[in-house]
Chain A
Amino acid sequence: MLIEEAVIEEVLGTALTSGGEFAEVFAEDRRGTGARLDDGRVEDLASGRERGAGIRVVFGETTGFAHTSDLSESGLKAAARAAAAAARGGGGGVRTVALQRVGAPAPNDVSVLPETVAKADKVALLRRADDAARRAGGAIKQVSAVYGDSRRRILVANSEGVLAGDDQVKTRFAVQCVVTGDAGMQTGRESVGATVGFELFEQFSVDELATAAGQRALTKLSARPAPSGVVPVVIKQGGGGVLFHEACGHGLEADHIAKDVSVFKGKVGQLVASPLVTLVDDGTMGGEWGALAVDDEGHPAGRNVLIENGVLTDYMWDWLRARKEGRSSSGNGRRESYQHLPMVRMTNTYVLAGTEDPEEIVRQTPYGVYVAQLGGGQVNTTTGDFVFGMTEAYLIEDGRITEPLRDANLIGNGPEVLRNIDVVGNDFAMGSPGTCGKDGQGVPVGDGQPTLRVAGLTVGGTAR
């Protein structure tokens, strides 16, 4: 336990003395190790530790927030007074809080805590990746590999009596290769990450990952400029969950709804997507990158169906937005660290598998673009316009995947693209680990989808 229960009760009491309606203590202890190999050398091994607490006091429509790295009772009380002053309630009074522990199962077991693994073993993975990537072909001129692990222990308690904790262990690995050919340089990247310990490397082979990154870069050496304009786009399983994250995920966050800055406001119960689409946000999903036992407000993670057979069923909620609607949170209140206020965030967001054979989807596409891997994206929730980058893509001609294409962004409008999904495959895979940014805060998120086709998307290439 990061802070004694009796101390938390005292601190919550202090936070409420100036009349706040709600107070919360969020304590966090985070340790991590990162190692980077570049240019054939292990450049450095870095480790870090941070701990502290953020205190939130809500009065009326105003939230006051302060944080401290001092977890002593006096340090916490000073932060509580600062947060209370920021929220500035009216008449004070003494309120006592009785805490009740929230029971929420961990999404999965961690079998090998990274802190128990020798640093030399972590560094050895980097060297293996470097060797494997360089064996992929002579054109490979540069390899960089990154290993990272983190352990984040949190404790949340609030004046409604919630007391909850979580111990989140994550491990990740990424390889990037640079190749040189007649037409300049190209890059290929592969990454894996999960809410697990060092056993990640029993599930994934670093050698295979590095080889795949190398081959991706080599393939792109002969890439030609991507088309410019609207074409059918087939997205490979696991490669494009970010499309839904941007096309509608952010627009289904309740804070955007409350402020009338989402194209999905007022659409619950309506058909907002092709009937082939069922979209779920699921924080309970095993060892996936965005999994958690409780969110950063102490609410158990949930499996929330957002769109069912094309019909919008619900938004995602945090404590603040749920309270206003007189409902309960959906377990989507997250924050980057104790230095940040929580807000509505996604966890693992994915589209369920359909019925079509993925190969058949390509065969039935006379001309278009096949996207095997997407990079990040960005959305304007108010207009619904969103972009996402393709980092491995091919032309489809006469129902066959033909030539590789250079990197480009694709652009679309969320509601239009959702309606334009005309085939969904029977395969399904989760994609690479991601970091979702919102209002300057980054949190780990996962995404996934089966192979599917969008009848028309604007590809931002330069082909004439």
Chain B
Amino acid sequence: MSDDLLALATRVAGWGRDGEQVEAFVARGRDTEIRVYEGGVESLSSAESAGVGIRVLTGHRQGFAYAGSLDLDVLGETLEEARDNAGFATEDEYLGLAERDGVEPAALDLWRPELIELPTEEKVARALELERAVRAGDRRIRQVESAEWGDATSESAVVTNTGIQAYSRRTACYVSAYAIAGDTDDTQTGAGYSVGRRPADLDVQQAADDAILRATRLLGAVKPKSAHLTVVFEPRITATLLAVLAGTLDGESVLKGRSLFAERVGEDVSVPSFTLVDDPTDPDAYTATNYDAEGLATRRNVLVNRGVLQGFLYNTYSGRRAGTASTGSAVRAGYKGAPGTGARAVSLVPGDRSPEEILKFVADGLLVQSVSGIHSGVNPVSGDFSVGAEGVLIKDGALAGPVREFTIASTIQRMLAGVVAIGNDLECLPSSASGLTLAISDVSMSGQ
């Protein structure tokens, strides 16, 4: 299966002229998405897509072009376009394609043929089963806005005329539901999902229970009084926070004077129990991969060790410019983008407390179950952090009243320093970060 994509990429890379570096990234994917509603199929989409992104470097200038096709004549035109574009970029001595660095790729098997063989009827059945489970699970559920099955298979190859040759492929599937609880005077919503690489990984009942719990536990929620308090993030929220944090540890932002951690390597940025790693070679991580977007082997990078900032993530360009090397952290948004730098599988080293023990330890505070407005309320340059939230107040170590329509705010720097408990409940999530329960002191809650 890998042969044709690698062969195609190799062919394109071979079109490079003397003195030219050429990189071909070819990708192909197949997706199915099934939505059910009120016991029937609302929509079923199945699609195959393929495309190419080509980088050409001439005299330390870079050009890029992409096309949503793998036809040979289109590949030729795309290369010409990238070559032409290179002429308009600024010369930069650090620019250059990746070269083999001796790091062997992790032996990851992320492909599950049983997903590909699963008949459509079975997928529809799972989605219908989920919808039924949400409706039947609690009499306060009045509606299931959507119940969904989704799956994807994706393959990609990166080949350069500088010696890079990489191929990776993966399968993924999920079920998800969005539950609505209550009556018209008091309506609340909750999402639940389960993800995996093959159908047997999915737990439909757990997805249903999650959606039901989240929607029903908010019934009767009120707008809280403004306060400064300790917040406990559920694993999903922690994952969101870690993904934002990882974005500030990107070596390119540091080089360009856009990271609030630029001058802080070797300093304490958090508490001693806080160790943060980015490890795409972990087979349990949803976003695991053996190669990065430039075709270098991925590796385990420790970003923060016992509260001390260790360093940043680099791709080939930013690594060279920083006087170091790539950390295998090139990422790209499909074939339509040239590689940037980023984390793929960030995770905190778990602590020793269970979520219940953390609630008892915190005693009085707020459990956060959802946040909104991450893109509008978090400034990764200044560190300002302000998001809408929903959750449940914690009183005397137990969950008390549900609350909504408020914000929680601090700065990324203060939140890291304010970590007071890290849970033992590490959970892989469909995100570039894993989650666990995390408690942070002295956060502003703005309500009434």
**Which residue of the partner chain, among B69, B89, B405, contacts A43 with CB atoms under 8 Å?**
B89
Q: How far is the CA of A221 from the CA of B51 in the complex (A)?
A: 44
- Contact A44 B406, beta carbon cutoff 8 Å: no
Query: Contact residue range for chain A?
Result: 35 or more
Q: Is A408 an interface residue (CB 8 A)?
A: yes
- Contact A41 B386, beta carbon cutoff 8 Å: no
- Contact A62 B43, beta carbon cutoff 8 Å: yes
CB distance from B168 to the nearest CB of A (A): 22
Q: Is B113 an interface residue (CB 8 A)?
A: no
Interface segment among B256-264, B356-364, B427-435: the answer is B256-264
- Contact B386 A407, beta carbon cutoff 8 Å: yes
Q: Is A3 an interface residue (CB 8 A)?
A: no
Count of B interface residues, CB-CB < 8 Å: 77
Q: Which of B188-227 contact A (CB under 8 A)?
A: 188-189, 223, 226
- Contact B44 A63, beta carbon cutoff 8 Å: yes
Interface segment among B153-161, B300-308, B440-448: the answer is B440-448
Q: A42-B89, A229-B226, A413-B405 are in contact. Are A61 and B42 (CB under 8 A)?
A: yes
- Contact B372 A461, beta carbon cutoff 8 Å: no
Contacts of B310 in A (CB 8 A): none
Interface segment among B11-19, B231-239, B375-383: the answer is B375-383
Interface segment among B59-67, B283-291, B323-331: the answer is B59-67
Q: Is B228 an interface residue (CB 8 A)?
A: yes
Q: Is A345 an interface residue (CB 8 A)?
A: no
Contacts of A119 in B (CB 8 A): 84-85, 88
**Which residue of the partner chain, among A45, A67, A411, contacts B388 with CB atoms under 8 Å?**
A411
Q: How far is the CA of A341 from the CA of B33 in the complex (A)?
A: 11
Contact residues of A: prevailing secondary structure: strand
Q: Which of B171-189 contact A (CB under 8 A)?
A: 180, 187-189
CB distance from B181 to the nearest CB of A (A): 10
- Contact A186 B382, beta carbon cutoff 8 Å: yes
Q: How far is the CA of A62 from the CA of B404 in the complex (A)?
A: 35
Q: Is B68 an interface residue (CB 8 A)?
A: yes
Interface segment among B132-140, B271-279, B407-415: the answer is B407-415
- Contact A341 B43, beta carbon cutoff 8 Å: yes
- Contact B448 A230, beta carbon cutoff 8 Å: yes
**Which residue of the partner chain, among B47, B187, B188, B411, contacts A339 with CB atoms under 8 Å?**
B47
**Which residue of the partner chain, among B88, B226, B409, contacts A35 with CB atoms under 8 Å?**
B88
Q: Is B92 an interface residue (CB 8 A)?
A: yes
Q: Is A107 an interface residue (CB 8 A)?
A: no
**Which residue of the partner chain, among B187, B189, B256, B448, contacts A229 with CB atoms under 8 Å?**
B448
CB distance from A455 to the nearest CB of B (A): 14
Contacts of A387 in B (CB 8 A): 372-373, 376-377, 387-388, 407
Q: How far is the CA of A229 from the CA of B372 in the complex (A)?
A: 17
The 19 sampled A-B contact pairs (Cβ below 8 Å) are: A41-B89, A44-B63, A45-B85, A45-B88, A51-B68, A62-B41, A65-B43, A65-B47, A86-B44, A186-B382, A187-B381, A187-B382, A260-B180, A382-B180, A383-B188, A389-B375, A408-B377, A413-B405, A460-B407
Since A45-B64, A460-B388 are in contact, a sample of 13 more A-B pairs with Cβ atoms closer than 8 Å, ordered by chain A residue number, is A44-B63, A49-B66, A185-B257, A226-B386, A230-B448, A376-B375, A378-B372, A383-B187, A385-B405, A387-B372, A460-B406, A460-B446, A462-B386
6 nearest interchain CB pairs?
Answer: A460-B407, A389-B376, A409-B377, A50-B68, A387-B373, A387-B388
